[in-house]
Amino acid sequence: MRKHLVHFLLVAMLSVLSASAAFAQVTVKGQVVDEYNEPLIGATITVVGGTQGTVTDVNGHFSLDVPQNSIILFKYLGYKELNRKIGQKSTNLGVISMESDAVALGDVTITSSIAVARKTPVAVSTINPIFIEEKLGTQEFPEILKSTPGVYATKEGGGYGDSRINLRGFASANIAVMVNGVPMNEMEWGGVYWSNWTGLTDVTRNMQVQRGLGASKIASPSVGGSINIITNSTDAKKGGSVSYGIANDGYNKVAFSLSSGVNDKGWAFSVLGSKTWGDGYVQGTAFDAYAWFVNISKMIGDNHSLSLTATGSPQKHNKRYDRLTIVEWEKQKKVGSGAGYRYNATYGFDATGKERVGTNYNSYHKPQISLNHIWDIDAKSSLSSSLYMSIGDGYGYRGVGTNYSNLYGATNGVPNTGYRKEDGTFDYAKIMAENAASDNGSLAAVAKNINSHKWYGLLSTYTNQITDRINIQAGVDMRYYVGTHKAKIVDLYGGEYIIDPDREKGKFKDDPTWTNQRLYIGDVVYRDYDSYVGQYGVFGQAEYSLDKLSAFVSANANINTTQRQDYFYYDNEKSDTQTKYGFGVKGGTNYNLTSNHNVFANVGFFSRAPFLSYGVFLNSNTSNLLNDKSVNEKVFSFELGYGYTSRNFNANLNIYRTSWLDKSTVKTATDAQGSPYLNMSGVDALHQGVELELVYKPMPKMELTGMFSFGDWKWKSNATGYWYNRSGQAIDKNGNATTPGSPDHAFVTLNMKDVKVGNSAQTTAALGISYEVLEGLRIGLSGNFYGRNYSDYDITGATKFESGEFTIEQPWRIPSAFVYDGHLSYKFKVGNLNATWTANCNNLLNEKYITDAKDNGAKTGGHGWQDATVFYGFGRTWSTSLKIRF
């Protein structure tokens, strides 16, 4: 590692020393506005062929020192680029009006609107590529948003790509994540695996976060908000880049990109490739990942454009699942491995000295391909369509056998001692020796949980400017998904065979050959089924704009179908198809009181079908029986906002309230025998709060930012549900397998009214400063505060049982934390090439803080830190990279 660092710093130093001498500078000023004379905030102004650049302030103004006789370039998403020649004297360009470019905007926003400041009535934050390049470092996409109001992002277990994000208290399953308007959320349960999208950081030209119902025009809207990642297309300039980065714990990344620009025949292409590898900050979390991106675009005459985009990120990485109690984490500082908060309870070695992580392994590749067509029908109307497909293929590991829990390394927050060495590592040699000596086969083994899918979709939007003030849009959103789920034994851990204990207890088949069968490498265990999900919807929207007033109203309707085919418990039988209908309406208005003040409001209601994974079937892993208690989830939300803009100061204040009814969800009971879980329906929640976002520029080269968010997020109902064991089989009150939906299938009521939503800090704040010390050299410091963060709860660990129902007690509140990050970037010349050097240090003060927790306090009645199982945030980490553009 030291050798890598020395080489890197040497290259950076030589590059700086070889930079060419600066030319004589002049100052250019001006204001950038749109066709309605509204300021464009965040428009980029750069020197063609140079390193200088800036962005417009909150009132569209800019000031930039540039070389004499240079050309400056103006760029803003959805607008045609402008060039201006600068002479030998300082110049005030006055008002620069940029013209809307329907094609450039349309090719990346097929159905997902880009919100416009002081016009679109939603709470929105826009992240530009300069910000991503300077501050991302080794962080993942969710973490770059941590200073956005309402956002809580963590690395969770700490494995590569395992980060998660909550928005206004809602998890990723209820946040619409899109790439160029194409949905990324998994169709069975709605989640997003960020490890599948690491390559996007290098090709993102804009990322926008819309909180609440937002302005997205899709047939099934989100609850918490939307994240739209917009990649390069025909706007990419001719040229490319190469980069190399290193970081703590053996992190390395090499990347290249190449763009042709648009030639005289209207063709353009962009490609990117990268490789990232390292040991991982957490013990035993090595990773190896590639990323690729291809875009080929063609302008066909003056009215048509085609854009083919494909991207993927094949990766494999080790994980960490086991939360420990705080006392156990402290012990890890004293054991022989000295891993401390980096400890991984499944990390260890076999008899040959080979590193192993048991069941904590994941490998996946999910390429996404989309073909976008933009047709400018006439001066007032256009049709934008995207035909896309996603092909996912990969797996993770899972423990099986009578002794499977030992493969997870810890139980109830305490590392299992039966297979533990003195240095704290897991003793794989011991369990493998026991399996080899057993007359009854392996006590524990590892299965490969295979999850693959094929997903096809069509998004199409028709737009018509009926009058100068009224614009209408209508479209279709059609998706079809087939998921394959199978588990195969891949490692018997030294044994000859294994007998699956889930089959022994099962009542799905009476065949004794099946229930007591000896299983070998490659045999199917636990599950083998396909799932089918269809979603077919339409949407429409009308927009009105008159001077200072803008308003919209939209509606959507959709049909959702779900079905499963089981090859394990049902001998290739298909379930009945469940069909549910959803709809939604929303509207909003923005009014610019003056050139400095604006107010907005939006309101919406929608009804959507529950996810297949919990809600549609009594259990999606084992049962073809539909849940007859399943109903649509309902969401009602409204929001008020105020904005202030001036030349040097920008402030946005939002107040929101979202009521969520009849949610379906799953909760585990790890303290109970066999770790069963409860499949619940009728869960209600209330999310409300206030958000404030500030930007202040006291001088041209300094920017101060601030954010404060206060939420009140809690569950509001008594829910009901059925119990299932860890393998997904229905169980009775004694834990014995039974038939789903039968009279002896254990059914309970769960009282969770006014319990706080867990693992999402309900008070967050951020402060930041960025200053250009010298020409091209920028330094920055930021701090993030996390408070009122409540633990998630385990049903048996955070409840009391009275009168035939469980009552959730208020979970433990995680201590508040304030974490500082620092960054540095330097733009310079290497001969005629532009170069950027960045360096980041996250958690500068090495703060020890808890990010995720689960309350287990019912064991002692205290609901305090003693019984909580937790993950700690990363300590001090660093990264540095050099990118050269040509």
Which position has the higher pLDDT, 490 or 615? 490
Transcribe 484-529 into DSSP letters: EEEEEEEE-TT-S-EE-HHHHH--S---HHHHT-EE-TT-EEEEEE
**Quick one: pLDDT band at residue 732, thresholds 50, 70, 90?**
confident
């110049």: which residue's tokens?
91
Weakest-pLDDT range from 101-115, 189-203, 217-231, 251-265: 101-115
Which position has the higher pLDDT, 828 or 729? 828
Going from N- to C-terminal start, the domains of the chain cover: 2-99, 106-321+359-401+444-885
Residue 110: the pLDDT is 39
**Which residues in 42-185 belong to E strands, given as ranges?**
44-47, 53-55, 61-67, 71-75, 82-85, 91-97, 123-127, 151-154, 164-167, 175-179, 182-183
C-alpha distances (whole Å) from 518 to each of 129, 442, 501, 513, 714 are: 56, 10, 11, 9, 48
Which position has the higher pLDDT, 151 or 570? 151
pTM above 0.75, yes or no: yes
Task: Give the right CATH number for 106-321+359-401+444-885 from 2.40.170.20, 3.20.20.70, 3.30.1510.10, 3.40.470.10.
Answer: 2.40.170.20
Give per-residue pLDDT as tens, 372-411: 898 989 888 999 899 999 999 999 998 888 777 767 788 8
Q: In whole numbers, what is the pLDDT of the chain averaged over residues?
A: 85
Does the pLDDT value for residue 657 go beyond 80? yes
Residue 13: the pLDDT is 45
The predicted model gives 769-783 an average pLDDT of: 92
CB 781 within 8 A of CB 822: yes
Residue 602: the pLDDT is 94
Q: How many helices (H) and strands (E) does the chain have?
A: 8, 56
Give per-residue pLDDT as tens, 867-886: 899 999 999 999 999 999 88
Residue 625: the pLDDT is 84
Residue 710: the pLDDT is 98
Give per-residue pLDDT as tens, 527-563: 899 999 999 999 999 999 888 899 999 999 999 999 9
Sequence-ordered list of residues with C-beta below 8 angstroms from that of 437, at least 6 positions apart, any chain? none
Identity of the amino acid at 313? S
Sequence-ordered list of residues with C-beta below 8 angstroms from that of 302, at least 6 positions apart, any chain? 376
Does the pLDDT value for residue 780 go beyond 50? yes
Give per-residue pLDDT as tens, 507-534: 556 677 777 788 999 999 888 999 999 9
Which position has the higher pLDDT, 118 or 65? 65
Residue 580 DSSP one-character state: E
Distance CA 590, CA 181 (A): 24
Residue 50: the pLDDT is 66
Which position has the higher pLDDT, 718 or 458? 458
Does the pLDDT value for residue 340 go beyond 60? yes
Q: Provide the β-strand partners of residue 237.
A: none
Residue 671: the pLDDT is 60
CB 766 within 8 A of CB 706: yes
Question: Which tokens in the block code for residue 553?
Answer: 């109203």
Does the pLDDT value for residue 798 go beyond 80? no
Distance CA 33, CA 60 (A): 6
Residue 90: the pLDDT is 81
Distance CA 35, CA 78 (A): 12
Does the pLDDT value for residue 866 go beyond 80? yes
Residue 24: the pLDDT is 67
Fold of 2-99: Immunoglobulin-like (2.60.40)
Does the pLDDT value for residue 452 go beyond 90? yes
Residue 18: the pLDDT is 40
CB 579 within 8 A of CB 564: no
C-alpha distances (whole Å) from 720 to each of 378, 678, 744, 854 are: 55, 9, 16, 21
Residue 614 DSSP one-character state: I
**Quick one: pLDDT band at residue 674, thresholds 50, 70, 90?**
low
**Quick one: pLDDT band at residue 17, thresholds 50, 70, 90?**
very low
Does the pLDDT value for residue 23 go beyond 60? no
Tallying the residues shown for the chain, one arrives at: 886
Residue 860: the pLDDT is 55
Weakest-pLDDT range from 60-64, 212-216, 250-254: 212-216
Weakest-pLDDT range from 55-59, 144-148, 327-331, 826-830: 55-59
Does the pLDDT value for residue 334 go beyond 90? no
The predicted model gives 292-316 an average pLDDT of: 90
Which position has the higher pLDDT, 346 or 111? 346
Residue 804: the pLDDT is 57
Residue 794: the pLDDT is 73
Distance CA 755, CA 869 (A): 18
Which position has the higher pLDDT, 83 or 328? 328
